[in-house]
Amino acid sequence: MKNAPTTLRLILGDQLNLKHSWFKTVDENVLFVLMEVRQETDYVKHHLRKVLAFFASMRHFARQLQARGHPVYYLKLDDPANNHSIPENLRHLIEKFSIQHFEYQSPDEYRLDEQLHTFCQTLPISHAVKDSEHFLTSREALRDHFKNKKNYLMESFYRMMRRRYGLLMEGDQPVGGKWNYDVQNRQKYNPRIPVPPPLCFKNPVGPLKEMLQAMRVTTFGTIDSDDLIWPIHREQALELLNYFLKNGFRYFGTFQDAMTRDSWALFHSRLSFALNTKMLHPLEVIEAAIETWQENPTLIELPQIEGFVRQILGWREFMRGVYWAQMPDYATLNFFANDRRLPHFYWDGATKMHCLRMAIQQSLKYAYAHHIQRLMVTGNFALLAGVHPDEVDAWYLGIYIDAIEWVEITNTRGMSQFADGGLVATKPYVASANYLRKMSDYCQSCFYQSEPKYGDRACPFNSLYWAFFQRHRQRLEQNPRLGMMYRLWDRFSKAEQKKLLVQAQYYLDKIEEV
């Protein structure tokens, strides 16, 4: 550095956006800071791969900025000068370099937003908050959109976004005449269609792993070798995007809800880490997908592209809207007053239930499960068993490579656990073994049998499913989408009902052994 910097700019671990306007010109008066801190490694117990992926990506990003001539201060976790608190480290740097102006990009987590806001109130120098230039909706616009609404309908939000961005539109109308092609998607996996092997990078993380061990950072999950399979910089993220568009996209929608023991990623993009760390911009992903579809109209059908666009333009932005409209109260919601602890097998995968074992073991291995495994296997079981949403949230926030609270909590507490009483989902996402048998090949080789509702080897999902509806009758009976369930339940004989409830209670009592 030729001159002493006068401005300090903070880059958080999920703000690795090389295209941000901050980096358009090099200014030697501006010092960028990135820091590895215990505050972030310890606020929840994380998967080892997740911590490694964030730190490896941050280090790479810092090197990229330096190579472009930007002054960068990188604080490693084991640096003796590290206070392990973002505000404390900032205070120290501001003093050390006699900084006159401080800037940060809007954090996506409420926790960090509050912390930095409070920190700035105490600063004797000027400060500014900049947009992260990543999302397709501003926080203010989101707040206005969600204001005074009792239920948040994703579908109307999605249509508004399609219109606003002119994506998959012909004038004011959706391409193909329909907004949503879900009915054509969501098929069971057809084993005659080969699944492309997931593109896995080999990013060496041995020294980083040693540092975490030396610093006694508590993590869980495994990493077989010292190679991290997730993209840690923009070039790899783009490679992953192109790989998906070439190999997985064609069947993305068709098998979006399918599950198979033969593949842990099926036709999913695995782009969530690259997107959530902002290595990729959502619009560039959507536009690249639309271009691929336009160039290959016979190979890639409309339901595939519409399904993909809906996830990113719809669900991803929508969940962020819910988060900013509802936090901080959202993190305390527990509509069903659930209070059970998360069974041990969520942490070690040791259960006789094949579907849970597959979803959990692959999560412990790769820090990844695809959407329907998260929703209809692990989430479904936790809700049927009545696990406290705090426990469920902590698990999802810790285990997944892409878990950042704004998108984790809305999906977990909202969509999956119905803890918001129906703000995000119009009914609880619960299912019996029938659904799992239809959508996966897990049941065929399970210790339990998927059809019986009671008896020695009856799949626990069956009785727990009915016991859930019976337990929450008062809360759910008025839901127009659930009236049918109660009519079905009432048609069971009293003896049948009793058998089901006894069976469910048996599993709940022995939940650590199922």
CB of 508 to ligand FAD, least distance (A): 21
**Which residue pairs, CB below 8 angstroms and at least 24 apart, start in 444-453?**
445/261, 445/354, 446/352, 446/353, 446/354, 446/355, 447/352, 447/353, 447/354, 448/352, 448/353, 448/354, 453/499, 453/500, 453/503
CB of 319 to ligand FAD, least distance (A): 5
**Cis amide prior to 328 (ω within 30 degrees):** yes
Residue 374 is a binding residue for ligand FAD (CB under 6 A): yes
CA angle 333, 336, 339 (to 5 degrees): 85
> Which H/E stretch holds residue 141?
helix 139-146
According to DSSP, residue 458 is labeled B
Residue 381 is a binding residue for ligand FAD (CB under 6 A): no
Q: Coil, strand or helix: which one is 340?
A: strand
Residue 257 is a binding residue for ligand FAD (CB under 6 A): no
For the residues of 69-99, what is the DSSP string, one character each?
A: T--EEEE-TT-TT--SSHHHHHHHHHHHTT-
CB of 348 to ligand FAD, least distance (A): 19
> Which range binds ligand FAD by CB under 6 A, 46-54, 114-122, 311-319, 480-488?
311-319
Residue 254 is a binding residue for ligand FAD (CB under 6 A): no
Q: Coil, strand or helix: which one is 221?
A: coil
Q: Across the strands, what pairs with 128?
A: 103
Binding mask 413-442 for ligand FAD (x = CB under 6 A): --xx--------------------------
CB of 84 to ligand FAD, least distance (A): 24
Residue 111 is a binding residue for ligand FAD (CB under 6 A): no
Number of H helices, E strands in the chain: 23, 11
Q: Do 93 and 73 contact (CB within 8 A), yes or no?
A: yes
Residue 400 is a binding residue for ligand FAD (CB under 6 A): yes
Residue 315 is a binding residue for ligand FAD (CB under 6 A): yes
Residue 134 is a binding residue for ligand FAD (CB under 6 A): no
- Residues binding ligand FAD: what is the number (CB under 6 A)? 27
Q: Which is nearer to ligand FAD, 74 or 315 (CB)?
A: 315
Alpha-carbon Rg for the chain, nearest whole angstrom, is 24
CB of 19 to ligand FAD, least distance (A): 18
Residue in 408, 419, 420, 437 binding ligand FAD, rule: CB under 6 A: 408
- Residues lying near ligand FAD in the complex (CB under 6 A) are found at 268-272, 275-276, 311-312, 315-316, 319, 370-371, 374-375, 379, 396, 400, 402-403, 407-408, 411-412, 415-416
